[in-house]
Structure 1
Amino acid sequence: MGERVYLDWNATAPLRPVARAAMIDAMDRVGNPSSVHAEGRVARGLVERARASVAELVGCKPSEVVFTSGATEAASVLRSATAHAAVCVQETAHDCLWAHLDLGRAVERPATLAMGLANSETGVVTDPGAGPGWTYGDITCDSLLLDVVQAAGRIPWSFAWSGATLAILSAHKIGGPKGVGALIVREGTDIAALQLGGGQELGRRSGTENVAGIAGFGAAATAALEELNQGAWLNVEKLRNILEKTLASEAKETIFVGNDLDRLPNTSCFVTPGWKGETQVMQMDLAGFAVSSGSACSSGKVKVPRVLRAMGLDDGQAECALRVSLGPETTEENVLRFCEAWLKQERKIRDRAA
């Protein structure tokens, strides 16, 4: 078996060298960013430079960026005492936080519409429309929370022109460190503090900032924006299309989910009836390829993504879904090697069924 090939970028992107360097530099800084002495001011400068970089990536004001431990914590704003009841219209990587809402009961206006800009399983991009006045069924919502974890840095998007009230993102999806993310809060929006304590992050998320993680996040955000502006993801899209065309040429029963819709440039979700996704993941892992049968919300969890049911697949088909997600480091050789290994296994499945 040759060198392993990583094709699970939607789960996490490889740590960027610039992010690693920024973190190492930050770890050598002794100051607490809340201290007023010179060492503290240096640490504060690292945090604020990273805040500006993240703001530039997602098109918001630096003052609208609240650093958190990740997108999951950022999404917990919906549980705060002052937050409106939320209605979730699309399964996302953080639907676990929204599943406690009873969609069968009446939700009085105003409510928050919570949705993913790009689905982690299929890559399908959803247009939330214009607001205020977003609708879900017969419910009109005055505010919108967008999960942009998968979209940030991969497709052009700006918080400023989106009209969203809140947005969440995560550093490790763009090549930053795990364990740090951000909540974007539109200027003038009143939210309860995510954590009480010393009043850091403008009183919205108390606790001494993770300076090293935040510095890595900022460096990754700058690099991700440069990649996007330079067209790196257009090349990724070409590779994704090569992958699907190569598989489709031989695997005639395989269904490519959402390939007629607007998708992230790097994501391919396909269903091969009779071949369970988790089995495919194990077989491809043994062949040297890291792929996924769904989102990596929690370790070891295997579930049928609800989004696949919503797109017309039955449970049996949805259980046979495989997600391949590419990145700027992926090469055409990587893609063709994967296709060869996958098709070899697919032929065995087909021969056994004959």
Structure 2
Amino acid sequence: MNFQNEIVKWYKINKRELPWRNTTDAYVIWLSEIILQQTRVEQGLPYFNKFLAHFPTVKSFADATENQVLKLWQGLGYYSRGRNMLFTAKQVMEIHNGIFPIQYEKLIQLKGIGEYTAAAISSFSNNQSKAVLDGNVFRVLARYFGVEEPINSTTGKKVFSELAQSLIENQKPSVYNQAIMEFGALQCKPKSPACNICPLQINCYAFKHHKVDVLPIKLRKLKVRERWFNYFVGIENDHILTKQRKPGDVWQHLYDFPLIETDEKPDFEEKSFIEKVKNTFGKNVQITPILQKKHLLTHQIIYVQFFALDNYIINFNLHTDIKSVLLEDFEDLPHPKVISDFINLYIKN
């Protein structure tokens, strides 16, 4: 049985009809690849359609503002991807005269495009013989060939890269790369893979050695950091208090509410906490708890507490990072998902 032939045969029967599979336009493929990074197809597809409708060409993307891009990106997470896309679009206009490159060697030099993305774009748009390695491909190769090197180790990455590249030789790259990724996404899934109807079952190392639940192996992740964000919602005369998040932390450049971060769950009646609130919002301020949320990021758990503000006075000359904006203008700004969810639940209704 030929591994590649079986993968491609399965793909031609089972593949999903997705819009970026019907084009060799490197710009469109780039859009899909960046949007789908660490994102399920079902979640990413509406964003892809939205971005392509707003920015049908790389020039229209390059002409956008960061706020426009981040607003469209809102809710997708990993916001640096959106900022990198804007930078990349400008790079393409300046360095490549507005023509999105299709060669791996040129793609890899663009911001936000790593080895996987460069391989995907060059193979799908140009049939360049560059093997893709994403989570789905790692899983298929580890299980079928019995590779027990950790996929996120230096040695493991080298082993998988060499194996993947050897398999794409003499294949049509645009088809084979799509096929093995789709096989991992639909057939050889992380949990409960369909081994009983798998065309590769007979020669699959993991199936034969009862290691389907073990492979691929991944080194333990970094310790998850816990943080407590205490947001203060001040609304007065159709205006709301807001601030733009600084660089170097989660949700940089997005807009949220005035915030006091604490190292542990705050007792909002505790003297030290109340003093911090009064230092910002005046000695007569009153706060009322509204909502608590738990927000999960890759290496962080953020516990969010929203408080309503009453009788507040704020010195904008002292607290220059806080602004008062019209509610309708605030809704048009890009926000972290936890803030946009709060707006939809408590402010719009």
Q: TM-score, normalised by structure 1?
A: 0.27
TM-score by length of 2: 0.28
Higher relative contact order (CA 8 A, sep 6+): 1
Normalized per residue, the structure richer in helix is 2
